[in-house]
Amino acid sequence: KEALAEILKRPGAALQLVSKVNDIYAPELEIEVKN
């Protein structure tokens, strides 16, 4: 939790984290929706 708090203190880092998670999970979600 502490590491996450450190990331959230830096807005840019938080946005990068969100986009990274999107890059990882979005393709899988799209595949599930299409099937």
CA-CA distance, 35 to 32, in Å (whole number)? 5
Range of the structural domain that residue 21 is part of: 2-34
Q: What is the pLDDT of residue 8?
A: 67
What sign results for the dihedral spanned by CA atoms 9, 1, 30, 33?
A: negative
Q: What is the pLDDT of residue 7?
A: 65
Instruction: Give 1-35 pLDDT, tens digit per residue.
Output: 788 777 667 878 778 888 888 888 877 777 777 76
Q: Is the pTM of this model over 0.75?
A: no
CA-CA distance, 5 to 10, in Å (whole number)? 9
Number of domains in the chain: 1
